[in-house]
Structure 1
Amino acid sequence: MKIRLPEKDYKFIISWILLLAAGLYYLNIGILSNNLWHEETLTAAIIKHPISDICRIAYNNGQPPLYFILLKIFSDIFGYTEFTLRFPSVIGVICIAALGAGPVKRIFGKRVGFVYAFFILSTPFITNIAHEAKMYTWSIFFTTSSILYGYLAAMENRKTDWLRFLLLTVASLNIYNYAVFPAAIAMYIMLRWIFVKNRYALKRYIISAATVIIIYIPSALNFFKPMVKNLSDFIWPLDTLPAILRAFLAPFSNFYGISLYIEIPIFIISVAFIAVALFNTFINKKAHGLMISFGMAVYLITIILGAIYSTVASPVFFERISIPVMGVFIIAFSYGVSLIREREYLILICILFFIISLPHAFYISSENLSSPIEKTTEYLEKRIAPNDVFVHFDEETYNLFSYYFPKNKNILYIGNNNHKELSAYDAYYPNEIVTWFNFYESIKDYKNIWLINHPNSENYSYQTKLIYLGAIKSTESTKRFFSQIPFFDISITKAVAGNRISESIPLTSDIKVKINLLNSYSGQVIVKLFNKNWNGPFINKTGKTNDANTFATQKGSIIKNATSEVTFENIPYGNYSIFAFHDKNNNNILDFKDGKIKEGFGNVMFYNPGIFFVESEKTQVEINLIYPP
């Protein structure tokens, strides 16, 4: 008896091969146009260590180790170059798109699968992160495929789907820390659905979920450590809502956050298509609507939970929280577009989306936005000797120069801070971290010292302080190299060792704070000085200030021109935050009504919200109060 094999759809196979091949070519355009930036150089440094050390360093950096282990294996085989560092991210995007021929096709059909793949290969943010030596594209792949197979497992209860869901979820959690949000949300929604609609799948769900949780425990302890440490009831930083908006716009923007004014229109159009998709599926009672609802619920709740995490732990880049769930957003968008029946119009919309996305792709691939390290290297290569030392005051330049100048010693000066708070500082061994107590011993034997700084860094004052104290003496004027993104600018100053720093030198300042724009002469002004490790939020919902992190408090009366002045005396050098408010009724708290602030308030706004530098004997800052409408 002959077994008849199913006929292959060669047209379908050839179409997908051509699409993915074209995508591979397109994604490789300009892959080396930007130099490695500091996070990529950290990746390059981590993967040069043994796998056992990679796990330790990655966890110290707050990241799961799986991506670094896989990239190390890939680099061991194909070599350590900038191309081999970034090319796996391109493969990650191809894998995301290939889901259109697998679970997306299985759920929605060939049409949606093909449109989804085309949109993935065209979406600006995804094409940008294909050029990053980071785990972002693989996070999207594992999270998206985990959600798709989780849906299929809950609906059809097949063993193979449950196994895929288990493995893909474990991979997503161990490739990127913020993937915990969509994974937890998806598993919760699946449990509710199975318990109500398909209890036959409950046993397999429990086995899969328990296995995932057990494997994730080491990463979980590392990820939630800052949340447990900093948990409080304090309100969100003032820029939380704009940050959430940027997270929603992220798929249609670029990785560097440079707006080309097309993000909002494309996002509005995509939301309209998703709304049409949901309406159509529920009106016509199509099963597709469950997957769209499932995916969009995971997407929205992920961003909400990201905002909560940012509140109780520490502020984070919301765009990075939304990265793992970009795939499910594109699935919903693609399904909405695929409802257009006329093939010609569908093709036209896909082409228009690609054309509109081109400016972002062209801009990133044609401009060197990461840092001026190429010009910096040209400037230094004929001026430095192998026994010269680079002294850095910022982790980012330390990362960059440790990669691009591996033959020279690199030292990161951190003042009086605890070096254990820094991320993956031991990835660059034998380069070292020094404080001002052992700084002189680290640089005294070097003939030439090159001071490397970010002019926009919050630690820029460290260099000025060391020169002022005579620990180093500059021998040439500072040379500055500019980037299209000012944050990446680099300054270089040639210097020699000076004198040993005496611990008896008083490094203190008197901080004079002037408060402007008060709207009345009633009451008092309360000014809180926060220590350098605190960057808000400054008050809780009851109006009480965060006294646990308050360094000092002053109260001032209101004088002529509706201003007030207070002075903090003998404040040690370092970085601080100030929060001031107009206490009109003299009750010593900032008044709230219906959860909204009633009285005027403000803080210092420099490089980071609320942070300013104390580096001289006299420091003056001004705060302009704002009042609620």
Structure 2
Amino acid sequence: MKSFNNIAYLLLVVLGLCLFLFLDAKDITILYDNTYSVFMSKMSYSDILHITATDVHPPLYYWGLKAYSSIFGDSLFSFRIFSTLGVLAILISGCIPIRKLFGDKVAISFILLIILFPITQYLATEIRMYSWTMFFVLSCALSAYYVFLEGKTIHWILFLLSGILSAYLHNYGLLSVLGIYFLLLIAFIYKKKNIRNIVFCALAFSVAYLPWLLQLITQMESVSEEYWIKSLAKNDLFLHIYYLYSPKEIWQPFTLFSKTQMVISLVLLMSVQLLLTLIAFASWIKSRSKDIYIAAFSFLTFIIPILIGAVLSIVYTPILVPRFMTCSLALFALSLAVVLAKVYELKTARWLFYSFWFLLSIDASVRVYSNLSYYKQTEVAYIELRDFVSKEDSVPEFVVNDFSYHVMPRLQLIVPRGEYTLLLEEDSLDIRPFCLREIKKKYLELDRFILVHQQREAVQNDFRCFLHSLSERYVVTDSLYATDIYLYKLKKLKTELDVLNY
């Protein structure tokens, strides 16, 4: 039986890994956040430290990505595999420590949840730090539980180190670790255990994080004045609730299904999940099972950083977006896995157990299909972009305004053959880690170039005014719109006769 279980675990992990590697291979989209990570990996280790000191994310992920890419190459596929490895580490955690602590039913449910949650497809393909943050937050929480049960030195060391790594990967990793420390302290006090080691770990953690804490305080002061995250609105509550289950990327248009269809299906799925949770908790309360504490504490560990982020977003400055919830997502999966394992034991509710897995599988399948459709559309658009540029006889000169410069690094990866110029008003602009040639708008004297623009409502008026200002000296000979990128081929009007002839 044990041999059979081992084979089942292996098959599940291989199944999940194959799915995510398949999506990695198919995902050719180049979004801004991915581009930022790619260019950061090309910086030196010291430059990464200096750049992140003015950014909102700690440096550890970019250091890891740089070290990884120096060995395995810098293709988009290779970069995405680095994120998939973080998900793989989470799946292996389900096979070993979670299985040892909570048994096969919880472990199998946990692994299936990680594979089937639609958001995991994002974590495995996005060239960002979320999958690795989720792994180390999970490791910190599991180490904390081992500390509570056994208190061995190795567990304390793992608890401290995984917490430090979580904090240096993402700020919400820090908030998650603070929640774990808080809950562990409460558990120790409740059981009247000696809290000396917790205090020591907290002090060691504070010392290790102090260098970045000073940078974080500076960042918080700067983002309070101007930040890209929008203030929370009423609709954001629903967005944060369904984000983990969304059958498509939340920013993509509704093409395969309507918003109403999505809402109905997700309400059904989450209602079944809620009912399962209520049934499990009712059974635990009736039997006075200790499993209720495992499920509750796991969920609290997941929700604490989100609540802190929400409160700070309301009273100070917006710092919460849905994807930040993924930093502690594995603890939500663990809590739900404990619930599912309990419901499976109740024969009268087993039909609800199977209904949940059926609905979640459908949701995950739709997300896969939605992603593949989007990847195909994007591939066609990128081919159009490259064909549009390939018509140039010489090396194309791309020019972008300072208010749209975010689109240019993406174009550098889509069309790597070219010269890339940033137009400035007066002052120089810190665009690190990107590398663009900078000239002032008044010195723009190119004979021909391709003007690049991004479809963003906030800058449309500025762009129209700028394009109109060029009409006295340049004429648009061709244009293209693909994905969210506009390209305009401009040619200089050298004489009044040229203008009249045109």
Which bin holds the TM-score, normalised by the shorter protein?
Answer: 0.7 to 0.9
1:231 and 1:440 mapped to 2: Cα distance? 33
Relative contact order: is structure 1 or structure 2 higher (C-alpha 8 Å, sep ≥ 6)?
2
Report the Cα distance in structure 1 between the residues aligned to 2:154 and 2:314, rounded to whole angstroms.
39
Q: Please list, as runs of the form range in 1=range in 2, the aligned pairs for 1:323-342 lying within 5 A after superposition.
A: 323-339=326-342, 340-341=344-345
User: In structure 2, how many angstroms separate the alpha carbons of the residues matched to 1:49 and 1:327?
Assistant: 31
Shift of 1:196: 3.4
- The CA deviation at 1:394 is 1.6
Which of 353, 357, 364 does residue 350 from structure 1 map onto?
357
Report if aligned partners of 1:100, 1:117 keep a CA contact under 8 Å in 2.
yes
Q: Which residue of 2 aligns with 1:490?
A: 485
Alpha-carbon distance in structure 2 between the residues aligned to 1:284 and 1:432: 69
Aligned match of 1:270 in 270, 273, 280?
273
Are 1:439 and 2:448 counterparts?
Answer: no
Cα drift, residue 208 of structure 1 = 1.6
Equivalent pair of 2:30/2:413 in contact (CA under 8 Å): no
Aligned to 1:89: 83
Give the AA of the match of 1:243.
D
> What secondary structure does 1:94 align onto?
helix
What does residue 434 of structure 2 align with? 428
SS of 1:419 mapped into structure 2: coil
Contact 1:229 1:313 in 2 (8 A): no
Q: Is 1:79 paired with 2:73?
A: yes
For the 8 Å contact 1:480–1:491, the answer to whether it is kept is yes
Q: Does 1:476 align with 2:476?
A: yes
Contact 2:133–2:327 (8 Å) recurs in 1: yes
Q: Tell me if structure 2 keeps the 8 A contact 1:182–1:298.
A: yes
* Alpha-carbon distance change, 175 to 281 in structure 1, aligned in 2, over 3 angstroms: same
Aligned to 1:360: 367
Residue range with higher mean Cα deviation, 187-196 or 467-476: 467-476
Separation in 1 of the partners of 2:493 and 2:213? Answer: 47
CA RMSD of aligned residues (A): 3.0
Post-superposition CA distance 1:574-615 (Å, at most 9, x none): xxxxxxxxxxxxxxxxxxxxxxxxxxxxxxxxxxxxxxxxxx
Structure 2 match to 1:284: 287
Q: Match of 1:381? A: 390
The answer to whether residue 146 in structure 2 is matched with residue 132 in structure 1 is: no
- The one-letter code of the counterpart of 2:44 is P
Distance 1:433 1:185, change over 3 A: farther
Please give the residue correspondences for 1:111-260 in structure 2 after superposition, counting only pairs within 5 Å: 111-200=105-194, 202-229=195-222, 239-253=232-246, 254-258=248-252, 260=262
Distance 1:144 1:471, change over 3 A: farther
Query: SS state of the match for residue 391, structure 1?
Result: strand
- What letter matches 1:209 in structure 2? A
Deviating more after overlay: 219-228 vs 247-256: 219-228
**8 A contact 2:27–2:125 mirrored in 1:** no
More strand by share: 1
Displacement of 1:359 after TM fit?
Answer: 0.4
Query: Please, which of 13, 27, 50 is the counterpart of residue 6 of structure 2?
Result: 13
1:398 alignment counterpart: 408
Identity %: 18
Deviations 1:531-580 (A, max 9, x none): xxxxxxxxxxxxxxxxxxxxxxxxxxxxxxxxxxxxxxxxxxxxxxxxxx
Deviation at 1:13, TM superposition (A): 2.2
Amino acid at match of 1:286: S
The alpha carbon displacement at 1:116 in A equals 0.9
Aligned pair partner of 1:59 in 50, 53, 58: 53
Q: Is the 8 A contact 1:390 1:449 kept in 2?
A: yes
Identify if the C-alpha distance between structure 1 residues 433 and 316 changes in structure 2 by more than 3 Å, giving closer, same or farther: farther
Matching residue's letter, 2:310: A
Q: Report the equivalent of 1:575.
A: none
**Aligned mates of 1:405, 1:238 — CA distance in 2:** 35
Structure 2 CA distance for partners of 1:165 and 1:281, relative to 1, 3 Å: farther
Letter in 1 for 2:214: L
1:367 is paired with a residue whose SS is helix
Q: Secondary structure at the match of 1:475?
A: strand
C-alpha displacement at 1:472, in angstroms? 7.6
Aligned to 1:35: 29
2:310 aligns with 307
Per the alignment, do residues 72 and 384 of structure 1 end up closer, same or farther by CA in structure 2, a change over 3 Å counting? farther
Inter-partner Cα distance in structure 1 for 2:62 and 2:393: 32
Distance 1:114-1:311 versus aligned 2 partners, 3 A rule: same
Aligned partner (choices 294, 307, 310) of residue 297 of structure 2:
294
C-alpha separation between the residues in 1 aligned to 2:438 and 2:323?
28
Return the offset for 1:76. Answer: 1.3
Q: Which runs of 5+ in 1 are unaligned?
A: 1-7, 484-488, 500-629
Pair 1:452-2:452 in alignment: yes
Partner of 1:544: none
What is the TM-score when the length of structure 2 is the normalising length? 0.85
Counterpart AA for 1:428: F
Q: Could you tell me which residue of structure 2 aligns to residue 539 of structure 1?
A: none
Question: Cα distance 1:44–1:268, how it changes in 2: closer, same or farther (>3 A)?
Answer: same
Measured in 2, the distance between the counterparts of 1:192 and 1:231 equals 33
The 10-residue stretch of structure 1 (458-467 or 222-231) with the greater mean CA deviation from structure 2: 222-231
2:61·2:129 contact (CA, 8 Å) conserved in 1? yes
* Structure 2 residue corresponding to 1:100, chosen from 66, 75, 94: 94
Higher mean displacement: 44-53 or 216-225? 216-225
| Unaligned segments of structure 2, at least 5 residues | 253-258, 495-502
Mapped partners of 1:58, 1:74: distance in 2: 19
The one-letter code sitting in structure 1 at the alignment partner of 2:19 is Y
Describe the SS at the equivalent of 1:49: coil
Within the candidate set 19, 23, 32, 1:26 is matched to 19
Q: 1:351 to 1:83 in 2, by over 3 A?
A: same
In 2, Cα distance between equivalents of 1:316 and 1:414: 29
**CA 299–360 in structure 1, closer or farther in 2 if over 3 Å, else same:** same
CA 1:59–1:294: 2 relative to 1, 3 Å: same
Summarize deviations over 1:112-157 as a string: whole Å, max 9, x none.
1011101110110112321111111112111122122223313432
Per-residue CA deviation, residues 345-389 of structure 1 (Å, 9 max, x unaligned), is 556653442233210121112323769444222211222632623
Offset of residue 16 of structure 1: 1.3
The residue identity in structure 1 corresponding to 2:233 is: T
In 2, Cα distance between equivalents of 1:65 and 1:74: 14
Render the CA deviation track for 1:190-241: whole Å, top value 9, x for unaligned. Answer: 22222332432x1221222222222222333333334335669xxx977523
TM-score (norm 1): 0.69
Distance change >3 Å, CA 167–CA 494, structure 1 → 2: same
Rounded to whole Å, the distance in 1 between the matches of 2:266 and 2:54 is: 35
Matched letter for residue 241 of structure 1: K
1:585 is aligned to none
